[in-house]
Structure 1
Amino acid sequence: MSHHPNSELLKLYATGEIDSAHGAAIASHIESCSECRAEVMKFEAEAGEAMMSLSSKEEKSSKDLELVFSNMLDDIMTLDADYSKPKVRKPGRVQVDGKEFIVPATIAPLVERMSEWRSYGGKVFTSTIDVDEECRVSLLYINQGVQVPQHTHKGFESTLVLHGSFKDENGEYHVGDFIREDGETKHAPQTVEGQDCLCLSILTEPMIFTQGVARVFNMFGKGMYP
């Protein structure tokens, strides 16, 4: 694994300040990346120490604390849940172009909110995921031996590789890799013959095509979401 979330995203993940789509993508990445997992643990420890320091400065009476714990116990006792068995998250299943792929359990909740697949010439397929956030989240399937027209981005594009691999002008990307691009990047992702690719894509703004007839999608400066 050669491509990772930056420290800013990892810190937002550790402190719970990240959006749900990026949170799911990073959770999936760190399951198989010990380097990023260690960095998240460091940020979590720092956040814990900061909270402890803040708590020590606050003045709370013993009655206030007693009331807090009493309310917590009441909430726990009234929950209608069965804790006799641990909750196990199951991987998700994605079907596209006559194929089925297994995706990590961390991504499964997003898969459950997929829309119908849209096909671009039977080569590229996209399915928008309904999340109540400003970014556009989708699954992107690229068949083997396909090149996506060169484009850049008005905002950020985050990509998590779920199956297969692809490459562009900046390198090759494989399962588990997390890639983040912005307006400084112009690239034309492509798959090689014999290798398709399934990715989770998160866009904060539309992408802008920079070459060929695909530039017609840039009309009125709006760009295009996949």
Structure 2
Amino acid sequence: MIKTHPTHAMLRAFAADELPLPLAVGVSAHCELCPECAASLRACEEELARQFLEPAEQPAEVSEPMPAGLDAVLAGILQQPVASQAELGQPAPSTPELQVAGHSYRLPRVLARHHAPKWRHIGAIRQHSLPLDEMGARASLLHIEAGGRIPEHTHQGYELTLLLAGNMQDGDTCYQAGDFIWRDASHAHSPHTPDGCLCYTVQDAPVQFTKGLSRLLNGITHRLY
């Protein structure tokens, strides 16, 4: 069961095309995995559409009336059902699977074109930076082998982790596929995965390692996020 979700404000910002691209991709992928947020997003889109289509104050001059019957024709066109690919005789496109460390993962549609990343490999962790940078935010795919752990760290900005597959333990909470986990400078944590996981991550600043030898990496973390 998905425990953590985007806020309503974030869903509304996504519907209004106001999010940086990396966050927008994360929200889109989450909504594909979460029917609850997909329904909330549709409601936001419908609300914004109604606001956009509401008529402005009528001018003093009366506009020329629409030709008789044209409004009914347009309404009929808009009510026509959209043919599916099966009805059109076209096969549904197959989503390529991502292969990493002997595992196979089916990605959300918004990430499907990134199914053949070039990984940077450190211990149990593999990371691939995605070409989605915008407004200071950067996105990555992160794969952690079973038993792997991220050294304890805090954040100089925000961090989104969308769990795409597997599980992750962070403090007392175990997250599953679909969880939309938001962290910032108020959090210090060392997440680990009992069974392995694949994540989509977004950061707008490097992490700051806080314990042990990992602190030696703080001088180069700008290359890792």
Unaligned runs of at least 5 residues, structure 2: 67-84
Post-superposition offset of 1:163: 1.2
> C-alpha deviations, 1:93-121, integer Å up to 9, x for none?
21222332221222213x15x65211102
Q: CA 1:105 to 1:87, structure 2 compared with 1: closer, same or farther past 3 Å?
A: farther
Within 5 Å, give how 1:1-226 maps onto structure 2. 1-53=2-54, 55-57=55-57, 88=92, 90-109=94-113, 111=114, 115-121=117-123, 123-133=124-134, 134-192=136-194, 195-219=195-219, 225-226=224-225
> C-alpha deviations, 1:129-180, integer Å up to 9, x for none?
1124231111101011111101111111111111111111151111111111
Give TM-score scaled by structure 1 length: 0.77
Q: CA 1:208 to 1:224, structure 2 compared with 1: closer, same or farther past 3 Å?
A: farther
Contact residue 217 and residue 223 of structure 1 kept, 8 A: no
Q: Which runs of 4+ in 1 moved over 6 A?
A: 58-63
Contact residue 127 and residue 142 of structure 2 kept, 8 A: yes
Work out the percentage of aligned pairs sharing the same amino acid: 29
For the aligned residues, what is the CA RMSD?
Answer: 2.8
Q: SS at 1:39's partner residue?
A: helix
Q: SS at 2:18's partner residue?
A: coil
Q: SS at 1:107's partner residue?
A: helix
Contact residue 208 and residue 224 of structure 1 kept, 8 A: no
Give TM-score scaled by structure 2 length: 0.78
Unaligned runs of at least 5 residues, structure 1: 66-82
Contact residue 218 and residue 224 of structure 1 kept, 8 A: no
